[in-house]
Structures are given as structure tokens and as C-alpha cells.
Structure 1
Amino acid sequence: MLDLIKTLINDYISELNKGIAIESEVIYGENKIEYALSNDDYMASISVLSDYTYDFFVVEIMSDRTFMIKTKQFDNLDALITEIKSSILSFSEIK
């Protein structure tokens, strides 16, 4: 499942083509995947656990001010994927 999430995130960021850079990407076996993303003056963190728990937050780099933060647990992969895409799109539109 985490390999699918990895492919989805990488492909979606490429599709958007809005200047999001993947700063790091780490998979912890079959338990967790984490991403650090950047876009101009902002950083985002995405964490996904194998039980469909999702954590996302965005901070402004210079001020450390938090813009978005959410932690959710989903019942199915489709809902999780929808939330990931929505979060990445929101992050790409921060100015």
C-alpha cells in the first residue's frame, strides 16, 4: 500500500507542475511513509501510516508560522488518496 501512496504522491506533484519540490521521502518498512515538500517560502510534511492514519501540516519557513495542520484516520484507501490530493493541491496554491 505504501508503494502505491509513494507513486501517487510523486505522480500527482509532477502532474500539478506548480513548483513543489520533494525534499525528502522515507518509507519505514510497511508501516509508514513520510514526505517533506517545499514550495517557495513554505514547507509541508505528509505522513501516512499503514492503518490509513494521515498527518499533514504546512509552515512558513522564515517565521515557523503554521498554516495548515490535520490528522485524520480513514476507513479506506480511496478516501485517503482523495485527502492526500486535496492537501497537496492546497499546498501548491499557498502564496
Structure 2
Amino acid sequence: MARTSLCDWVLQCGVALKPLSDRLLVLLKRQAVIFSDDTTVAVQDWGKTCETRFWVYAGHSSPIIVYDHTETRAGKHPKGRLEDYSGYLQADAYAGL
């Protein structure tokens, strides 16, 4: 099986599941407390490896978890995801937020 076919299928699944991810984020931001952290993920890019990030946002009162993949650790990424959130965010002491 061609690698391009597998990559295309993964991309198509991501596009198809985006409305579900968007809805989970809306429901998550209704909670009083959200827990968050990020972790590094190595991504292969044309013969080299790039360090990217997975941000995890977990609900307190119901089991909702939302993942966000970004190319950098810039604070603009979680700020953009949680821009209209008005509850408590529990995270580590990362100064970028």
C-alpha cells in the first residue's frame, strides 16, 4: 500500500472529525476547571525531525479531553484555544501563557 494513500486517509479522517473536536472544545469551555499541559512530539519532515507540541485540555466535571497539535510552544496557541473561557485553568508554571 502506498504511503501517500495512508497519509491521505489520515488527513481525510482529520477533516471529517473536526466538527466533533470543535464541539468537544465548546463543551469543555463550559466547565469551571480545565487542566492542561503540553508535551513534545517528534515529527519527521523530509529527512529531518522537527519538535512539535501536543497540548492536552481535560475537563474537571466530565470526562472531556481535547488535544491540539502545534508546531511551536508559543503561548498564542493555548490562548487562542481558550480565548473565551472564563473559568480556572490549572497548568504548570510555563511563562508563555
Normalising by structure 1, what TM-score?
Answer: 0.36
Give the number of the structure whose residues are more often strand, by fraction: 1
Kindly name which structure, 1 or 2, has the bigger radius of gyration based on alpha carbons: 2
Normalising by structure 2, what TM-score?
Answer: 0.35
